[in-house]
């Protein structure tokens, strides 16, 4: 066996493996304490070496490490549940709704006109987005939600049960249909919360205004979804699938309306309502039948003709405008008794909000898809230096004189342009499915005003402009710099201004997560606040009576723009009190939308109670007055603030193009990530390196390496000559302190010893040292790993990045030491111990996997791969792939008597004792590799809890 000196010089033969939380933490503390005498000490790698040694010498098994990792997973998910519970009013919906009631009662105290203005004014709402954030299985997420709301031994046991399950099949099976099913579940709970708010508004109004309350038409903060409608970065969503989803959603919602109306006491005694209930049931059945026709293969023209003709015939059973529902209710309300009237007004508000779907829909395309139509079909060039000035003017003229063209499903079938297809689909939805609904048309990566004008031209061409909110998404560094001028330039075009005035508001979208990937999260947050205000100023200067709708889209982690504290802090972080106050001073109405993304975001709506606390928090924020920011020096010390921003942004931009940083996202790092969504991980064509990796996967990789640097780093290196003034600003400014606290939250879960430990695992010199000290029977496997890694640049690149970060984070730590109430370095280190133990377990399992493959015998050339190639697969953590391949190369032994026992011809007498297979290799190499892959998958999921989300 290998010498103990090769692994852990301090381990005694009778030492127990540190496979409990207490022993692992003690080990890490003891090793960390040595750093003063040995600056090269790495407690994480030392623990990993210990675990590896114990597996190599038989003191511990893969199963032992897997059991301990499950215990650590449980600890981390319970800590996440506690933070989640605090966000959700301690799991008490009544407490959350009491805040809404207090706000409504305060408004009522100002009189009926003030109350009406507040509750009828559109304020924005919530958007459910998908993308790859479904890392945790649905069973585990449901157990998490149960534990949040009622933590006890049973809920804890439920968590542990699902943690121990092999969830790899769940992740492998993730698809768009499953994501759509999940968002529909979240929307059911969100709609229930929406109804609660409507009832609460009416309850307060009835008490405060007994003579006038029935005239109210409350606005309910909206629910929207782009799941199944977002084509940015994907080609796997066929237009027929989006239409099928929309028809299914219509059928479900009409059935719900029927049930809701039928459940209102006294409604069945009023003939008009009874007829409406029956009509809703028939319309739901009709929509369901139409959805079934569109769900078949529509590349077959016969299927398309059948589906299209059925939908466009507009049978008498169909409802395709929500006004058909609300018109009946409008007539009943004036003569209804008070209880029935209140219930009907609340129900009508729900219909007004949701129309004929479970949510409003957001279609999303990429600017390049719109640009290709402009360039190809219209012969216009949109890339000139004056932000497309010539193209913009010509497109404005075309939009002004454009006459709508008729389209049918054959046109949709034959169209090859993605952008045109989406506009055609809008036209068909509005004509034949839901003619009263507003559709958001999001244009990702908008950097050119001509692109938006081109979209308006197409909207006019297909007759959908009056129901389509064209919304540019600002997320790239260029867009964040020029977005204000972008909108100013658009508003100078009379045709675009007319469009905005007709709609009643200008729609824009800000991408926190992509911006944070490119220039760092703190710098991105500052840039987004700036662009909010530049656009608000431009709009207020150009017209009056037009609102600004801002959709701030982000994920759930601190590295994607989601504040890790309370909902109030989160909403204020996305749309700051200064922005809200500035808009109010300009007499500009703001409508605000925020996203809840994927499996992690849908957790906030996983149960009716959680949905209630989330929606109540949103309503409280929407009804509240923005805090006074007039004394915040962040907004007066602009010289210092923007010097800080520019220095921070420049640091992150240099990091982003650093070749060593790019190597962090290749080779083995991709293997640390679980499949978590149906969208492709990387962008196809165009950019390479980190820019090709989507923001979620970029951040998830950083999390898995223990370095969420896009949030934690760069601050220490900014304004070194102004440290005293910067400290004063942070301590005095709520806004600046909030930004630094965001970075501090990320710093607490940033670990350079972890990053360096990964470098050590891929350091060929570590493996040759093991080989030199190992027993002869073990040394060849270690040498095989050495040969496999000796030309690999991973270790060098990781250490270079670790060195760069060490300098920067050291400066940040010194800055933090001077701030009021900042946690000490010792507290921060203590908070990382569980993560350190989890990484050490993973590193040890990786090393064990490398050695197992290093033990493989020579492989026949007929398999088109050799042992070195298999080792490369495993060092890239493509272990599942390697296991499958090894299973083919070295098949399991078969019972010699089966299935050949019926052959009558005499054969070898030795066959009964022969192994016609590779039992030893399967038992000692392939089986353990499979167990390691399963354990590594669980560890990847466990690590996400420290960051509050996958990516």
DSSP per-residue codes, 107-144:
HHTT-HHHHHHHHHS--EEEEEE-SS---S-HHHHHHH
Write out the two tokens for 475.
């997320």
List the helix and strand counts (H, then E) for the chain.
Answer: 43, 8
Q: 796 with 841, same domain?
A: no
Residue 487, domain member (yes or no): no
Q: 30 with 130, same domain?
A: no
So what's the pLDDT on residue 387? 44
Torsion of CA 292, 295, 297, 300, to 10 degrees: 60
Residues 6 or more apart whose Cβ sits within 8 Å of residue 782: 2, 767, 768, 770, 771, 774, 851, 854
Q: 337 with 370, same domain?
A: no
Residues 6 or more apart whose Cβ sits within 8 Å of residue 268: 262, 274, 277
CB distance 515 to 480 below 8 Å: yes
Q: 217 with 240, same domain?
A: yes
Three-state secondary structure call for residue 383 = coil
Q: 793 with 764, same domain?
A: yes
Which residue is it, tokens 């030309």?
791
Q: Would you say how long the chain is, in residues?
A: 951
Q: 189 with 323, same domain?
A: yes
Domain end position, chosen among 322, 354, 386 = 354
Residues of the chain with pLDDT below 50 are 1-14, 384-387, 896-897, 912-916
Residue 472, domain member (yes or no): no
Sign, Cα dihedral of 792, 794, 795, 799: positive
CB distance 205 to 173 below 8 Å: no
Query: pTM for the complete prediction?
Result: 0.94
Domain end position, chosen among 354, 387, 404 = 354
Which of 768, 762, 772 has its CA nearest to residue 784?
A: 768
CB distance 349 to 220 below 8 Å: yes
Residue 511, domain member (yes or no): no
Q: Give me the helix-helix angle, 521-542 and 734-748, nearest 10°.
A: 150
Q: 651 with 701, same domain?
A: yes
Residues 6 or more apart whose Cβ sits within 8 Å of residue 726: 640, 644, 718, 719, 815
Share of the chain residues as helix, strand and coil, in percent rounded to the nearest 5 = 65, 5, 30
DSSP 889-901: HSPPP--TTTTTT
Which of 264, 232, 229 has its CA nearest to residue 249?
A: 229
C-alpha 124/C-alpha 122 separation (Å) is 6
C-alpha 374/C-alpha 351 separation (Å) is 37
Residue 431, domain member (yes or no): yes
Q: 787 with 914, same domain?
A: no
Phi, psi of 508 (to 5 degrees): -135, 160
Residue 631, domain member (yes or no): no
Q: 672 with 756, same domain?
A: yes
Q: 47 with 130, same domain?
A: no
C-alpha 229/C-alpha 634 separation (Å) is 40
C-alpha 212/C-alpha 120 separation (Å) is 14
Residue 25, domain member (yes or no): yes
Neighbours of 339 (CB within 10 A): 12
Residue 786, domain member (yes or no): yes
Which residue is it, tokens 């949030």?
711
CB distance 645 to 854 below 8 Å: no
C-alpha 834/C-alpha 840 separation (Å) is 10
Residue 570, domain member (yes or no): no
How far is the first Cα of the chain from the last one, in angstroms, to the nearest whole number? 41
Q: Residue 444's domain spans which residues?
A: 359-462
Q: 378 with 322, same domain?
A: no
C-alpha 714/C-alpha 650 separation (Å) is 9
C-alpha 827/C-alpha 731 separation (Å) is 20
Partners of 468 in the beta sheet? Answer: 439
Tell me the CA distances in angstroms from 282 to 244, 255, 258, 279, 313, one per residue in order.
18, 9, 10, 5, 16
Provide the domain count of the chain.
4
Domain end position, chosen among 299, 324, 354 = 354
Q: 801 with 910, same domain?
A: no
CB distance 536 to 584 below 8 Å: no
Q: Give me the helix-helix angle, 752-761 and 43-56, nearest 10°.
A: 40
Which residue is it, tokens 């922005």?
579
The helix or strand, by DSSP H or E, that contains position 867, with its residue range, turns out to be helix 867-875
């Amino acid at each position: 066996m290998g010498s103990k000196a090769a692994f852990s010089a301090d381990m005694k033969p009778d030492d127990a493996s540190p496979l409990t939380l207490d022993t692992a933490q003690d080990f890490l503390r003891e090793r960390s304490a040595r750093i003063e005498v040995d600056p090269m000490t790495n407690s994480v790698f030392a623990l990993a070496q210990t675990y590896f040694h114990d597996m190599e010498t038989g003191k511990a098994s893969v199963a032992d490490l897997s059991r301990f990792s499950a215990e650590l997973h449980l600890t981390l998910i319970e800590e996440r549940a506690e933070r989640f519970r605090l966000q959700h009013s301690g799991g008490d919906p009544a407490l959350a709704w009491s805040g809404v009631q207090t706000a409504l009662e305060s408004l009522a105290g100002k009189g009926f006109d003030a109350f009406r203005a507040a509750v009828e004014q559109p304020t924005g709402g919530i958007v459910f987005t998908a993308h790859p954030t479904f890392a945790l299985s649905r069973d585990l997420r449901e157990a998490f939600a149960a534990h949040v709301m009622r933590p006890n031994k049973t809920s804890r046991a439920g968590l542990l049960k699902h943690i121990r399950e092999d969830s790899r099949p769940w992740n492998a099976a993730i698809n768009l249909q499953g994501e759509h099913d999940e968002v529909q579940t979240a929307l059911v709970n969100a709609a229930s919360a929406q109804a609660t708010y409507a009832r609460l508004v009416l309850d307060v109004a009835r008490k405060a205004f007994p003579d006038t309350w029935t005239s109210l038409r409350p606005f309910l903060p909206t629910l929207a979804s782009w799941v199944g409608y977002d084509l940015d970065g994907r080609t796997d969503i066929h237009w027929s699938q989006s239409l099928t989803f929309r028809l299914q959603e219509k059928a479900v919602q009409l059935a719900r309306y029927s049930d809701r109306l039928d459940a209102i006491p006294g409604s069945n005694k009023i003939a008009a309502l009874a007829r409406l209930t029956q009509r809703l049931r028939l319309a739901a059945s009709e929509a369901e039948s139409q959805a079934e026709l569109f769900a078949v293969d529509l590349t077959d023209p016969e299927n398309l003709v059948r589906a299209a003709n059925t939908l466009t015939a507009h049978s008498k059973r169909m409802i395709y405008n929500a006004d058909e529902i609300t018109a009946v209710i409008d007539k009943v309300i004036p003569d209804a008794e008070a209880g029935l009237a209140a219930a009907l007004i609340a129900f009508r508000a729900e219909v007004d909000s949701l129309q004929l779907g479970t949510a409003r829909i957001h279609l999303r395309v990429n600017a390049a898809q719109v640009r290709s139509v402009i360039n190809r079909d219209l012969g216009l060039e949109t890339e000139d230096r004056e932000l497309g000035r010539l193209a913009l003017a010509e497109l404005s003229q075309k939009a002004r004189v454009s006459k709508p063209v008729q389209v049918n499903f054959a046109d949709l079938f034959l169209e090859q342009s993605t952008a045109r297809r989406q506009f055609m689909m809008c036209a068909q939805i509005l004509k034949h499915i839901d003619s009263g609904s507003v559709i958001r048309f999001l244009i990702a990566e908008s950097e050119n005003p001509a692109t938006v004008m081109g979209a308006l031209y197409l909207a006019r061409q297909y007759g959908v402009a009056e129901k389509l909110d064209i919304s540019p998404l600002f997320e790239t560094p260029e867009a964040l710099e020029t977005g204000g001028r972008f909108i100013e330039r658009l508003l100078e075009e009379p045709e675009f201004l007319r469009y905005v005035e007709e709609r009643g508001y200008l729609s824009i979208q800000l991408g926190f997560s992509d911006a944070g990937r490119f220039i760092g999260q703190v710098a991105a947050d500052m840039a987004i606040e700036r662009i909010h205000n530049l656009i608000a100023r431009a709009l207020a200067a150009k017209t009056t009576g037009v609102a600004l709708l801002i959709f701030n889209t982000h994920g759930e982690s601190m590295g994607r723009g989601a504040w890790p504290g309370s909902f109030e802090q989160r909403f204020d972080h996305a749309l700051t009190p200064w922005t809200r106050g500035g808009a109010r001073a300009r007499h500009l109405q703001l409508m605000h939308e925020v996203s809840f993304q994927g499996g992690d975001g849908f957790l906030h709506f996983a149960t009716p109670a959680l949905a209630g606390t989330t929606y109540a928090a949103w309503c409280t924020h929407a009804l509240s007055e923005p805090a006074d920011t007039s004394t915040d020096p962040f907004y007066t010390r602009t010289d210092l603030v923007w010097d800080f921003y520019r220095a921070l942004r420049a640091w992150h931009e240099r990091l982003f193009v650093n070749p060593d940083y790019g190597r962090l996202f290749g080779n083995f790092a991709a293997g640390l990530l679980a499949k978590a969504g149906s969208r492709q991980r990387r962008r196809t064509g165009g950019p390479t390196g980190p820019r090709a990796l989507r923001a979620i996967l970029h951040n998830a990789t950083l999390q898995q390496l223990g370095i969420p640097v896009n949030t934690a780093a760069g601050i220490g290196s900014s304004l070194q000559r102004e440290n005293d003034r910067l400290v004063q600003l942070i301590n005095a400014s709520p806004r600046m302190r909030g930004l630094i606290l965001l970075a501090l939250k990320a710093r607490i879960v940033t670990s350079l010893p972890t990053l360096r430990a990964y470098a050590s695992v891929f350091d060929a010199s570590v493996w040759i040292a093991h080989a030199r000290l190992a027993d002869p029977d073990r040394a060849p496997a270690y040498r095989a790993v050495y040969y496999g890694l000796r030309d690999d640049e991973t270790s060098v690149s990781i250490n270079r990045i670790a060195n760069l970060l060490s300098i920067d984070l050291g400066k940040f730590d010194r800055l933090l030491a001077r701030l009021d109430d900042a946690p000490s370095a010792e507290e921060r280190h203590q908070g990382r111990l569980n993560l350190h133990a989890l990484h050490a377990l993973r590193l040890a399992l990786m090393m064990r996997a490398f050695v197992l493959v290093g033990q493989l015998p020579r492989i026949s050339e007929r398999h088109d791969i050799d042992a070195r190639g298999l080792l490369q697969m495993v060092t890239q953590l493509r272990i599942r792939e390697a296991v499958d391949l090894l299973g083919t190369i070295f098949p399991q032994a078969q019972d010699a008597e089966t299935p050949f026992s019926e052959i009558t011809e005499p054969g070898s007498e030795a066959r009964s004792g022969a192994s016609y297979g590779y039992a030893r290799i399967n038992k000692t190499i392939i089986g353990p590799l499979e167990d390691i892959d399963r354990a590594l998958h669980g560890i990847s999921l466990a690590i996400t809890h420290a960051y509050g989300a996958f990516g």
